[in-house]
Structure 1
Amino acid sequence: MNDVERNFEVKTGKSESREENMAGAAEVEIFLAEVHKDEKNAIRHLTNFVTNTTSQDNEEELKKKEEVIMQCGNILAKEKLTEALKEMIQRTRPFLISLGKAKAAKLVRNLVDLFCSIEMNGTPAEAKNFQDIKVELCRECIQWAREQSRIFLRQTLEARLVKLFNEIEDFQNALNLAVTLVKELKKLDDKELMVEVQLEESKACYEMGNLTKARAALTSARTTANAIYVSPRMQAALDMQSGILHAADERDFKTAFSYFYEAFEGYDVLNLPEALRALKYMLLCKIMLNLPDEVHILVQGKLGMKHAGRQLEAMKAVATASKERSLSDFKEVRI
């Protein structure tokens, strides 16, 4: 670098920005090197970095620290280092005070999402224990948000807890919290979060066998969604639930297929695993419509090629058994 370039960087602040970027990258590298040797030391080092005094006016430095926290969180989640991730979430809280409320809520929600997305293999007892740890972490973060008078953060975390309750099949708690939270969100007119909670309320009602309330909650979610922009992922989730209710409640498999197709396209563009589930439901609708030949056409076409595997082969076998009216062939299907 010549003197002219160096002077230009000093005047424009470009050099300072590059040093901040290098510092952030260095912290991630140190974290990577330490995390498998000594988890606690790695978390301690990260905590020291993000809790060092930072001016709230220095947006670049705050942003860099946010990015470092998320990168380290992704690493821990990928490696399934649950205790380290939990400790990181707890020990980076002092840094959150220097962030705006909206940014802090987004960061904590993303970290909690990472923790809740971890799936542990083991015995049923071990799986149940890890589910309890997820619920405990959510409730602990909610309590911290309440103590800090961070209403938006608390509501965001409660919305995630509703989703978690559904994921672990604790549908009554999911429904109870969802109903309370929706009432609160309506007063604040927080439509984006309301869509998420109303969708989870619909899922809980469906699983508890109350299809009327499930349909009403979904209608409310779709009405709320029509008034705002919703992410492609959320739109796909709404379409998926619509398809499920049309199939389960009204046995309208033709309409259900259309919704599952919309959900499939939404998930597939985002390369999400839910795309395969939507595709399987599409194939099931064709079977229920007594169109088993179309199952083979879909599986062998462009849609099926990308998701080829045991699960689609199983759906083909079910379609064949349906066409042949063979109960014995159906019983032999293995997913």
Structure 2
Amino acid sequence: MADASTSTSTPLQLALEQQDPARREQQLDAILASPAGPRDEQLLRDKEQAIIALAQLHRDNRDATKLADVIRQSRTLVEHLAKAKTAKLIRTLLDLFAAIPDSTQAQIDATRDAADWAKHDKRIFLKQNLETRLVSLYIDHADYKLALALINQLLRELKKLDDKMILTEVHLLESRVHNALANMPKAKAALTSARTAANSIYCPPLLQAQLDMQSGVLHAEDKDYKTAYSYFFEAFEGLSTQDDQPNAVRALKYMLLCKVMLALPEDVAAIAGGKSAAKYAGKEVDAIKAVAKAHEDRSLGDFERVLRERKEELSDDPIIRTHLAALYDTLLEQNLVRVIEPYQRVEISHIAEQVQQPVRDVEIKLSQMILDKVFHGILDQGAGCLVVFDEPEVDKTYDATLETIGHVSQIVEQLFQRTRTVAI
């Protein structure tokens, strides 16, 4: 009976049942090498499954080079497939790179190669989709110059075709690039263009969540953390509904970060322990909770320790890194104010010892605080001391004088108007 069932198995089934990776690869290659015409529907279906299975095998082996070869090999197959099926197959194969560590460059090369092939084969829709994916990869790889060049090219093409869906995605990517380059006016303008394009079509939930995420990022850059929190919450809800765990975790992290930046660290534990956030618990969320605890305790030492120990979850994210740098500065300032509060004259070395920071860094920060009028005083560098002055009394005479002059100016203006009316 075993022999009978084996004899009726197709070559594809035999290949997929093969436990030895080398033999499975060999049998899948044999299926793909079989000649097939446009009317061999069963063989074409088998080849399609075989090429996906072969790509998955290379993904499991973490071999990005062979995976790229499979994508190139698939072009002979897709000549006999419908264009919609072709686009889906190539996107499926390219998605497999995500599971291979340090494969961004290989993915860029494979995507660019596929986009060039699609352009040569006059598959315009597929080309634009692949180039949009390529822009995203350039951003992840910090190749912002190449990303902007490709964005400008795509925008020219898409405005002629009036494809609002891809136009929304490209404007969103444009906003991300300008944000990464710290060009906030252009980042906001691109996001406005993305939202305008999205309002004229049905916007899929994932794309809407990405728009909300970018809105939150830009509001956070403007220090409007309350509004940013609202956008991140909307993005988190949308991503949770679509089971996009990696991006949902990012949105949750940014939500919690906004609470920390708003000096509400006690809210972090409550949000992280909520029903919707509980399933995303892990080291990413724990890292923000540790930051919140250090902020709540006003402990600069704990804050620095968390940054060292949780580098992957915190400092490796450029958005979180930017805001934590500002938070560190605020925390340092709070600690310095607490140390110098009882004194009228205190050694800078003593202050540095209390906050556990280098003397030079403390001296620079104190100079900045004096210029910003956080407190009144001078640095006596000859003696290595900080001299703190009492808060000066504000003389209100100047303000009262300006107010009086303002009232007199209004009266004179009214008299002038009346005089003109009488003269007429």
Q: TM-score, normalised by structure 2?
A: 0.64
The 3 A distance-change label for structure 1 pair 172 and 308 is same
Partner residue in 1 for 2:134:
161
Separation in 2 of the partners of 1:167 and 1:31? 35
Partner residue in 2 for 1:99:
81
Alpha-carbon contact 1:268-1:275 (below 8 Å) kept: yes
Separation in 2 of the partners of 1:292 and 1:55? 65
**Helix, strand or coil for the counterpart of 2:160?**
helix
Separation in 1 of the partners of 2:19 and 2:47? 18
- Structure-to-structure mapping, 1:39-188, within 5 angstroms: 41-48=26-33, 52-55=36-39, 66=48, 69-115=51-97, 117-120=98-101, 127=102, 130-188=103-161
Separation in 2 of the partners of 1:237 and 1:38? 43
Aligned residues: 299
Alpha-carbon contact 2:114-2:130 (below 8 Å) kept: yes
Alpha-carbon contact 1:185-1:194 (below 8 Å) kept: yes
**Cα displacement string for residues 41-87 of structure 1 (whole angstroms, at most 9, x for unaligned residues):** 255234236x622329x5x8766654554455345434423233222
- Structure-to-structure mapping, 1:1-335, within 5 angstroms: 27=12, 30-31=15-16, 33=18, 36-38=21-23, 41-48=26-33, 52-55=36-39, 66=48, 69-115=51-97, 117-120=98-101, 127=102, 130-248=103-221, 250-269=222-241, 270-333=243-306, 334-335=309-310
Alpha-carbon contact 2:209-2:234 (below 8 Å) kept: yes
RMSD over aligned Cα atoms: 2.5
1:197 to partner: Cα distance: 1.6
Amino acid at match of 2:32: T
**Cα displacement string for residues 69-106 of structure 1 (whole angstroms, at most 9, x for unaligned residues):** 44553454344232332222111212211223233223
Alpha-carbon contact 1:28-1:71 (below 8 Å) kept: no
1:316 to partner: Cα distance: 1.7
1:307 to partner: Cα distance: 2.0
Which has the larger displacement, 292-301 or 140-149?
A: 140-149
* Identity rate, percent: 41
Q: TM-score, normalised by structure 1?
A: 0.80
Separation in 1 of the partners of 2:46 and 2:213? 37
Amino acid at match of 1:273: P
Divergent runs of 4+, >6 A: none
Separation in 2 of the partners of 1:242 and 1:32? 48
The 3 A distance-change label for structure 1 pair 35 and 212 is farther
Separation in 2 of the partners of 1:39 and 1:62? 19
Which has the larger displacement, 77-86 or 213-222?
A: 77-86
Alpha-carbon contact 1:40-1:84 (below 8 Å) kept: no
Higher RCO by CA contacts (8 Å cutoff, separation 6 or greater): 1
Separation in 1 of the partners of 2:24 and 2:214? 40
1:272 to partner: Cα distance: 2.1
**Cα displacement string for residues 259-296 of structure 1 (whole angstroms, at most 9, x for unaligned residues):** 11111122223142111111110001011111111111
Alpha-carbon contact 1:34-1:42 (below 8 Å) kept: no
Separation in 2 of the partners of 1:36 and 1:216? 51
The 3 A distance-change label for structure 1 pair 215 and 67 is farther
Separation in 1 of the partners of 2:164 and 2:220? 27
The 3 A distance-change label for structure 1 pair 252 and 80 is same
Alpha-carbon contact 2:16-2:24 (below 8 Å) kept: no
